[in-house]
């Protein structure tokens, strides 16, 4: 049996990361995703991103599981082909700058007229309204605007940019969720709808915890390194050979930590009896814990803390350590794919485990226009059966 979106057709005209990854997620769930590229190719084919054998890896990964055709919407032939695809589509996914869709005649009002069941999905940078709605958005800009950079880094030091791509890969989740909800609603109403999200809305939503800190304390959040201002301990500790991460989110885990450290009296120390007191006396507690942790090697501490039920982890310095981690392997979180031009590529597996309608990671994106003949043949066949 195919994925839960088997039989759903998506026309994807997006570029960059936000829209293309959302389209790829829908493909993972079984949708037939037709990626339309402009004749010069989308931006990730020409960016400074890493390449292998001349093939841009970002594009190959973010557009996996899609069929690719090249169309020029500025020509009559290209426009008619796009409209023919829209008439038979369930979802139209775009991330054009605001105003572009209306200018070229591919806005929701126009397309919903020719296909009333169409889910028109807009993945924008800064939303539909306001003075920023026409601005281009990328992950770095969204992280900077959202405060992610300003609160990252060592305590008292210079703010630093997180190296993981945060907004570009969380925003696609929100637009994919909106599309799924719209498809579900269409089952009752029989009508399509216009759904949308933006990097701005995702950035605000994901930053909720830090925003709550500000509104509760009326203090601008600052960098804390590996620590957090409201839970102690919750940070990195140096062991005899490496750093480990440890957190005690409740009093039970705190008492368990004291036992694992062979410091049972610490649990009853009046300065550290509750988390609020530990936060207040952080400067006194941290050196005590630091001296305890440096006694043994990190793996020994991880074993002891895990047995005690204390949340902990080693730090993954090399991504290979994560990919070879027994837990990652046991849960089949990675896949090996073979690309005709790139060779073998290791990717993530799909994150969903669906017993009746399993999802799967499709083939990596290939050459531009590689599916042109098959898509056009389908359109001609569908036209004959109308």
Query: Active-site residues: which are they?
Result: 168
Helix (H, G, I), strand (E, B) or coil at 349: coil
Q: Residues 378-381: contacts with CB within 8 Å, 24+ apart?
A: 379/81, 379/84, 379/85, 379/88
Reference 39, options 78, 81, 5; nearest CA is: 78
Q: Is the peptide bond before 233 cis (omega within 30 degrees of 0)?
A: yes
Pairing state between β 32-37 and 119-124:
unpaired
Range 344-382 burial, b when 16+ CB lie within 10 A, else e: ebeeebbeeeeeeeebebbebbbebeebeeebeebeeee
170's tokens: 């969380």
Q: Which value, to the nearest 10 degrees, does the dihedral of the CA atoms of residues 223, 228, 198, 46 take?
A: 60
Residue 208: which residues within 8 A CB-CB, separation 6 or more? none
Distances (CA, A) of 305 to 257, 264, 293, 301, 321: 7, 14, 11, 6, 20
Q: How far is CA 329 from the centre of its chain?
A: 21
Q: Please, is 265 exposed, middle or buried when counting C-beta atoms within 10 Å of its C-beta (0-12, 13-18, 19+)?
A: exposed
Query: Cα separations (Å) of 300 from 39, 214, 244, 264, 297?
Result: 57, 38, 11, 19, 6
Question: How would DSSP label each residue in 111-129?
Answer: HHHH-TT-EEEEEESS-SS
CA atoms within 13 A on the CB side of 70: 10
d(CA 124, CA 95): 5
């Amino acid at each position: 049996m195919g994925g839960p979106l088997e039989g759903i057709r998506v026309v994807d005209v997006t570029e960059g990361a936000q829209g293309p990854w959302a389209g790829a997620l829908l493909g993972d769930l079984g949708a037939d995703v037709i990626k339309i590229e402009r004749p010069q190719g989308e931006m990730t084919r020409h960016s400074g991103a890493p390449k292998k054998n001349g093939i841009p890896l970002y594009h190959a990964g973010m557009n996996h599981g899609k069929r690719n055709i090249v169309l020029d919407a500025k020509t009559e032939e290209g426009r008619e082909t796009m409209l023919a695809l829209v008439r038979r589509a369930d979802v139209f996914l775009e991330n054009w700058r605001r105003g572009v869709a209306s200018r070229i005649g591919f806005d929701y009002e126009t397309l919903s007229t020719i296909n009333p069941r169409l889910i028109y999905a807009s993945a924008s940078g800064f939303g539909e309204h306001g003075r920023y709605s026409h601005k281009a958005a990328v992950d770095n800009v969204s992280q900077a605007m959202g405060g992610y950079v300003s609160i990252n880094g060592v305590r008292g030091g210079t703010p630093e940019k997180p190296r993981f791509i945060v907004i570009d890969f969380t925003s696609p989740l929100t637009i994919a969720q909106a599309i799924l909800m719209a498809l579900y609603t269409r089952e009752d109403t029989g009508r399509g709808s216009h759904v949308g999200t933006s990097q701005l809305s995702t950035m605000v939503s994901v930053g909720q915890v830090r925003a709550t800190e500000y509104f509760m304390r009326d203090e601008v959040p600052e960098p804390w390194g590996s620590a957090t201002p409201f839970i102690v301990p919750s940070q990195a500790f140096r062991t005899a050979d490496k750093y480990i991460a440890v957190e005690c989110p409740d009093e039970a885990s705190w008492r368990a930590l004291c036992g694992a450290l062979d410091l049972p009296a610490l649990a009853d120390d009046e300065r550290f009896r509750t988390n609020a007191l530990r936060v207040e006396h952080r400067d006194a507690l941290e050196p005590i814990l630091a001296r305890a942790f440096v006694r043994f090697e990190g793996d020994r501490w991880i074993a002891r803390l895990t047995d005690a039920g204390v949340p902990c982890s080693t730090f993954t310095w090399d991504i290979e350590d994560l990919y070879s981690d027994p837990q990652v392997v046991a849960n089949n979180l990675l896949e090996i794919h073979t690309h005709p031009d790139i060779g073998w590529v290791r990717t993530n597996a799909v994150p969903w485990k669906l017993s009746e309608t399993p999802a799967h990671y499709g083939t990596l994106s290939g050459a531009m226009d590689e599916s042109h003949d098959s898509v056009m043949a389908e359109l001609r066949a569908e036209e004959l059966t109308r």
